Structure 1
Amino acid sequence: MSRTLVLGDLHGGLKALIQLLEKIDLSTSDELIFLGDYVDGWSDSANTVSYLIELAKQNSCIFIRGNHDDLAHKWLKTGEMNEKWLEHGGQSSLNAYRNFTEEDKKKHKKFFSEMVNYYQDQDDRLFVHAGFTNLHGPEFEYHETAFYWDRTLWEMALAINEEIKPDDFRYPKRLKHFKEIYIGHTPVTRIGETTPVKKANIWNVDTGAAFKGPVSAIDIDSKEIYQSDPVHSFYPNEQGRN
């Protein structure tokens, strides 16, 4: 039986991703939805992209655009970079691409350009890296950067009183559009958690792979959770993101 699995932020932790997929016992009939931030963090950033390109040849994969992916793509296309990006993982991507040929980089630029800002399935489940701000839903979003930068969706979910149900007039309108919303971007380690967290109808699957956490995946139907070992344990001589 095929499964749909949602995977959280990777940040160049290819070794952890490979272990995770082994734990999942991945079948070619399984669909994979990646929530973004494939690069910027560990030394395998560029190798992670190469791996994902090959993985998509055997499995149905949906690649959501993350903020780090957008920044890395801009650098690959135009050389554009900024100090903040370099300080928060960008330098690892620059280093990772030093031995890549122009032909390899061309394939990667194509991969980045074909990512989607969000995906909605037939069961009204939304998959997006960060969030959206428009009360009428993501299709009405004014600025696409919200899809991979906005943190207010998750902050709002954390602040909701659990007694307030969807039929209550106080329940946030943004959340009423979907049965479930799956996001990454803001590590759940910030609230002291190490596994995917559900607040209201939002599942946050970013378990801090860029720092001291694992790469995580969740089966959207059974809600079974799979996790790698902490990513930093695969890269003992590296610091990851600061």
Structure 2
Amino acid sequence: MRRTIVISDIHGYYQTFVALLNMVQYNAIHDRLVLLGDYVDGGPSSLKVVQYVRGLAKLNGVSAIGGNHDDMFLNWLDDKDYILSPYTSARNGGMQTIRSFCPWYEDESDDVKARSFIKQKYATDIHFLRNLKYFIEDQHHIYVHAGIDPQLSHWRHTSTKDYRWIRGKFHAHDGILPIFKKIVFGHEVTARLHHSKQFDPWFGKQMIGIDGGIKFGYQLNALIISEQQEYTYVSIESKD
């Protein structure tokens, strides 16, 4: 395959995602596409993103893993919402996700009806989200949504929660992990890794962070890895 294209944290920005694939001239026959999760929450079209990703994942050369926001949506759907940080809060962006499935959704008083409606009408999409992988590995890279636990004897022992939620403890070990592969991840907006208002991919010693913060109005990044293991990237602002 000619290139590996990696995108993370789409967050319901369907038009932006499609436009980015067009910008990088993604070719389903020649390119490999790796998607690192967080397909929902924030943007206006989470349902369309999920369905589009589900369709892409049927193609040879396309791999999709899940993110913490995908888990948050499933937890809400199973009536296991976070008490201190409700799924529908502005910070989480769940309200937009629920309304993409149920345009008639008003507020928490519609929760029971909405959960039943989504589980019945969109069973295939929910099944897809429930069965997303936690990581992908190839000869040169480990692809994960959030990261790995750097304190374990082997990174594969990382908990399912940490694969999708870990932050600072993972980032602090850049360059000292006993791993001979680059770790490509999303989850943490790259401006925090750059320690500046820069939302392009962040290149550490062993780690590459690619979340451009589209959920917060910034950009969606595509990391492009050539056959020669050279890195470039393309970024796009919101089109939604």
TM-score of the two chains, using structure 1 as the length reference: 0.81
Q: How does 1:1-242 map to 2 (within 5 A)?
A: 2-29=2-29, 30-76=31-77, 78-82=78-82, 84=85, 85-87=87-89, 88-99=92-103, 102=119, 104-123=121-140, 125-133=141-149, 134-141=151-158, 143-157=159-173, 172=176, 175-190=177-192, 191=195, 192-220=197-225, 221-228=229-236, 230-231=237-238, 234-235=239-240
Identity %: 27
Give the C-alpha shift of residue 104 in structure 1.
4.6
Q: Which amino acid aligns with 1:188?
A: T
Q: Which amino acid aligns with 1:131?
A: G
Q: Which residue of 1 aligns with 2:108?
A: none
Q: Which amino acid aligns with 2:46?
A: S
Q: Which amino acid aligns with 1:91?
A: M
SS at match of 1:80: coil
Q: Distance in 2 between matches of 1:224 and 1:204?
A: 13
Q: Distance in 1 between matches of 2:154 and 2:19?
A: 36
Q: Which amino acid aligns with 1:176?
A: P
Unaligned runs of 5+ in 2: 104-116
| 1:178–1:41 distance in 2 versus 1, CA, 3 Å | farther
1:160-196: CA deviations, max 9, x gaps? 6xxxxxxxxxx53xx2213201010010123321210
Give the C-alpha shift of residue 140 in structure 1.
1.8
The number of residues matched between the two structures is 215
Give the C-alpha shift of residue 226 in structure 1.
1.4
| 1:213–1:137 distance in 2 versus 1, CA, 3 Å | farther
Q: Distance in 1 between matches of 2:121 and 2:208?
A: 34
Is 101-110 or 182-191 further displaced after alignment?
101-110
Contact kept, 8 Å, 1:126 with 1:178, in 2: the verdict is: no
| 1:67–1:101 distance in 2 versus 1, CA, 3 Å | closer
Is 63-72 or 85-94 further displaced after alignment?
85-94
TM-score of the two chains, using structure 2 as the length reference: 0.82
Give the C-alpha shift of residue 17 in structure 1.
0.4
Q: Distance in 2 between matches of 1:154 and 1:198?
A: 14
CA root-mean-square deviation: 2.0
Contact kept, 8 Å, 1:131 with 1:152, in 2: the verdict is: no
Is 39-48 or 211-220 further displaced after alignment?
211-220
Contact kept, 8 Å, 1:12 with 1:46, in 2: the verdict is: yes
Q: Distance in 2 between matches of 1:93 and 1:34?
A: 19
